Structure 1
Amino acid sequence: MTQLTPEQARTQLDAHLGEIIEWHFNPETGCSFWLDWAKKNFDPRKEINTFADMVKFPHFQDEWLRDLQNEVWVPKKYQGRPFNVFETGGTTGMPKQRIGWDDYKVDYREFSEKLPDEHFPKGKNWLMVGPTGPRRLRLAVEHLANVRGSSCYFVDLDPRWVKKVISNKQFEQARAYMDHVVDQAVTILKHRKISALFTTPKLLEALGEKINLWDAGIRGVFCGGTTMAPQYVRFIVEEVLEGRIGFYPTYGNTLMGLAASVPLRPEDNFSITYYAPQPRAVLRIVDPSDTTKVKNYGEWGRVELTTLTREFFMPRFLERDEAIRREPRAPYAWDGVAEVRPFGAMEKNIVEGVY
């Protein structure tokens, strides 16, 4: 990976943005949703010259991904080609859906280049313990394993059910379901040679209570999907993984792809920072009371996501997350987001389930 300067990264982003704007708003290539939007609002091909101009767009509404038929998002160049349908978490009602073709492969192929063979040896088997079904993650993790010459086993999880029973205060049922999932994973680890694990922090902790992960052959762990405060990260690294197993937290979702973390240094004090796969996706930490303004480094703010691929254009979507804005850090020449947690987590109780 060639190390860019922040100025080079901005130039790269602006050039990529120009290509994506032209693609999605050109009548010969764009999808019906954005072409119709431009007729009612403005032509971004004339108004958007740099990423700083993106504040001219209103925030992308998640209801569009719930209420509209997915065909409105198909670029003309992709018409006639069957699409994958990926869903976000969802608890009740219609979940948000994103269609796609190859984006998930590109995202995870790039991520593979950041993984050391020491912790993710090529040609060894992987295990994913987490939501499969309509989630993008299932295909993405298997593709990532395959790129590294590995095969992947799966233990399924229904996070919607877990959130539902916890919301109904049926804690015993939630615990029983979690035990059911963990028991299946332990069985695989005992009977198959597995070297890498992809799961959530709470399931990782529960697995560590049932089996010694190092002795089971695990050398690298991907973890994501929930709040990981520094003290909890310390517990995972030092107690669950015994300081021997590689720990690679990720921050990703159906709409963004995958933001990788940088390796923890002593001075980080177990605070995890993630970097978006720019220029394909851009994260900003914005002031919740004025989302045109970016917070200062070291300050908390709401996470705003812009996705920029030929398959999917999503400007200024406000995630249900908040995070600390962090400076660029090699090999990334753009801002990072740290200590991601649900938006408003300090003001209200939020159900995260096994995430």
Structure 2
Amino acid sequence: MSIPLEQRITEARKRLDEHTVRTVHKHFHPEDGAPFWLEKAKTYNFNPLTDVKCFDDLKKFPLFEDDWLRGGPVDRFLPKSLHGEPRFVFETGGTTGIPKSRCVVRDHWIDYELFSETLPDKYFPKGANWLMLGPSGPRRLRLAIEHLCQFRGGICFCIDLDPRWVVKLIKKGDIAGAKAYADHAIDQATTILSAGHDIKCAFATPKLLEALCLRLVDNGSSIEEAGLTGIFCGGTEMTAQWMRFAKEELLGDNVYIAPTYGNTLMGLACGKPVSKEENYKISYYAPQPRAVTEIVDFKDYNKTVEYGGTGRVKLYTLTDELFIPGFMERDEGERERPYEQFPWEGVSGTRPFHEFAKTTTVGVY
């Protein structure tokens, strides 16, 4: 007998409250906590160790500032109890100035192992090889996709891609140069797919997936004929209109697309299965309780909008390795109701926050 949705929502909220308290105690532990937060705690008019009793108590913290992630020491957000572990540094942004970065031990593995549970084995077979058609270099996505593939028993084939270079070309007005770089990425992908590696699954950004599909068509082939059955796709440029185009024109009926929304801070928000009945609307649900998203009022970031209402995305990261009590994302969208698979609120229609949209340069992503 299935558990009623309202009960699942209540249980999920209880888990989130308990997880929040544990996470705060981890990061504010007097001896083993995170150096950044132990120093910050001295400036608060409350005690995180005694005054945070549930998730809503995180609103006692001031908003997390974007620039805190720029520069070092990079491990200041990592609890001291983890400073002896092998660590990774992952960057985000960085087209101009010092890039934002975070120090990671296991979070990228955990996030993608949890995501693996949501993939249908029919289209993402266990043991299948993968193509990683996305950014490389200091970005966590490269290692995370490889881990996802290995965790599912396959071998991951990757391409070289520096999205920062593409953004620089676009900002200079060198559209031909940006197009040539995108072609260079697709050249690598088609070469790998033609090499007999029995690749059945892939990660791709929307723009690169579209470019790959069109290149294969130009070569007298298709995604399906190339052997791919499952595509894991991520990026804020993914709209319902694009999803309809992808399913009806690019992929066909026998290739599954799993839309996701995520970043270096959040992890990976899974997409609710897209259907024609819902006009291909894409709804995302954060990996609660490790991360939480709220859709908040444009003028009051502590107030969530009504279901169906439009607001800015507010992120909370609650892992043993990173604590972020309220980070204002550069995206906006509509607040979605909980549902059976993810009994907490989600977001649909993600797009650049309207106050930033005109100044945001979108590159090869």
1:19 is matched with which residue: 19, 22, 29?
Answer: 22
2:272 is matched with which residue: 262, 274, 291?
Answer: 262
Q: What does 1:8-47 align with in structure 2 at a 5 Å threshold?
A: 8-41=11-44, 42-47=46-51
Separation of aligned partners in 1, 2:317 and 2:173:
36
Separation of aligned partners in 1, 2:342 and 2:300:
27
Contact 1:123 1:149 in 2 (8 A): yes
Question: Is there any run of 5+ residues in structure 2 with no aligned partner, and where?
Answer: 217-221
Contact 2:12 2:344 in 1 (8 A): yes
Contact 2:89 2:102 in 1 (8 A): yes
Return the offset for 1:349: 5.7
1:296 is matched with which residue: 279, 294, 306?
Answer: 306
For 1:24, the aligned partner's letter is H
For 1:23, the aligned partner's letter is K
Any idea what SS the aligned residue of 1:35 has? helix
Deviates more, 1:265-274 or 1:315-324: 265-274
- The ranges of structure 1 where at least 4 consecutive aligned residues each deviate by more than 3 angstroms after the TM superposition are 1-4
Tell me whether 1:93 sits opposite 2:97 in the alignment. Answer: yes
Over the matched positions of the two proteins, sequence identity in percent amounts to 50
Contact 1:200 1:226 in 2 (8 A): no
Aligned to 1:125: 129
Contact 1:221 1:246 in 2 (8 A): yes
Contact 1:226 1:352 in 2 (8 A): no
Tell me whether 1:7 sits opposite 2:28 in the alignment. Answer: no
Any idea what SS the aligned residue of 1:131 has? coil
Separation of aligned partners in 2, 1:80 and 1:341:
39
For 1:231, the aligned partner's letter is Q
Q: What is the CA RMSD across the aligned residues, in angstroms?
A: 1.6
Aligned to 1:168: 172
Tell me whether 1:69 sits opposite 2:73 in the alignment. Answer: yes
Contact 1:274 1:338 in 2 (8 A): yes
Deviates more, 1:176-185 or 1:62-71: 62-71
Question: Is there any run of 5+ residues in structure 1 with no aligned partner, and where?
Answer: none
Aligned to 1:233: 243
Separation of aligned partners in 2, 1:89 and 1:234:
29
Separation of aligned partners in 2, 1:14 and 1:204:
39
Tell me whether 1:203 sits opposite 2:213 in the alignment. Answer: no
Q: TM-score, normalised by structure 2?
A: 0.94
For 2:80, the aligned partner's letter is K
1:79 is matched with which residue: 63, 83, 89?
Answer: 83
Deviations 1:164-212 (A, max 9, x none): 1111111000001001110110111111321001011111111111111
Deviations 1:112-160 (A, max 9, x none): 1111111101111100011111111111111111111111000121111
Aligned to 1:179: 183
